[in-house]
Amino acid sequence: MALDFSRIFVFVVASFEYDCFYHFIQMRKAIFKKYNIPNMFLFEYATPKYYIRDENDYVLDEDPDKFVIDPSIQIIPRFYPLMIVKFLKALQKVDTTKYDFILRINLSTYINFPKLHALMYTYPRTKMIVGYIYLFPLHDWDEYRYKPHKFISGTCMIFTPDVAAHLKTYKLNDPVLYKHFDDTVISHLCLPAIDYLWKIELLFVHNNRSISDEELLEFPIIRIKYPLDQRDCELKRWMYLMELVDGIYYQKNPLVYEEEALNAVVPTST
């Protein structure tokens, strides 16, 4: 019997910082289409002309409800402040009460959705966030300088709908939003609303070591991140996983940058 993903909503934090990200977007969309997963891709700025948008793309810079960060708030660029803004803005646009779980994932991490689906429905349905947990002090955030901060990695953050509703209560000019990277801040914001912070196992893949199918299939989340000069290796890992887990063959085609030649090839399932 096919798995029902209709009560799971996924936000994908996306950009076109590297050419390979275009392919990650296309591959992720092919997976969402196969499993009928409700989703939204979150971009900060207008997408390139070679990219064909669909109804699931949200662009912060084009939101009619414009937001400007209060100039009195100290902004530290290396924390990518618009990451949390686009997530919280997009969260307001979704009726999260319709879903059992809300996910916020990054672009390059592969998710084994059938395995994750089975795992999520063993969790509590309220007052919970789930993900790969880090625990260490943050020397550049006063509150956590001398004590460990337990936070969920931004690779995959899972919220129950009541926690998502709690996140919606924060004002975008609350200075705490800009204290650190978005995953550490989001985890901090959730603390008043949660009873459970559950760890999910994650496989890190950052080189070309041989990994058996059995090991790959064991993990619901696979963090794939190579050095910048080896990003094409990430695509190869993704394409292999899509065939292995999802039965989808993705044909990597060169990017087409000329506006008059916008005839993207749509990946097909097998």
Rounded Cα distance between 74 and 264, Å, is 42
**pLDDT tens-digit map of 5-59:** 999 999 999 999 988 899 999 999 999 999 999 999 999 999 999 999 999 999 9
* Cα 36–Cα 39–Cα 44 angle in degrees, nearest 5: 155
* CATH number of the domain that residue 50 is part of: 3.90.550.50
| Assigned domain for 36 exists | yes
- What are the structure tokens assigned to 269, written together? 């399932």
| Assigned domain for 252 exists | yes
DSSP calls for 244-268:
III-EE---------GGG--PPPPE
Rounded Cα distance between 200 and 83, Å, is 23
The parent domain of residue 255 ranges over 8-269
| Assigned domain for 1 exists | no
Q: What is the pTM of this model?
A: 0.91
The pLDDT assigned to 188 comes to 95
The pLDDT assigned to 110 comes to 97
| Assigned domain for 3 exists | no
| Assigned domain for 2 exists | no
| Assigned domain for 158 exists | yes
Give 269's pLDDT tier (boundaries 50, 70, 90): very low
**pLDDT tens-digit map of 194-229:** 998 999 999 999 888 889 999 999 999 999 988 877
Q: Are strands 128-131 and 110-111 parallel, antiparallel or unpaired?
A: unpaired
* Nearest C-alpha neighbor of 111 from the set 93, 138, 130: 130
| Assigned domain for 263 exists | yes
Rounded Cα distance between 246 and 270, Å, is 9
Average pLDDT, the chain: 90
| Assigned domain for 114 exists | yes
Look at the chain and report how many structural domains it folds into.
Answer: 1
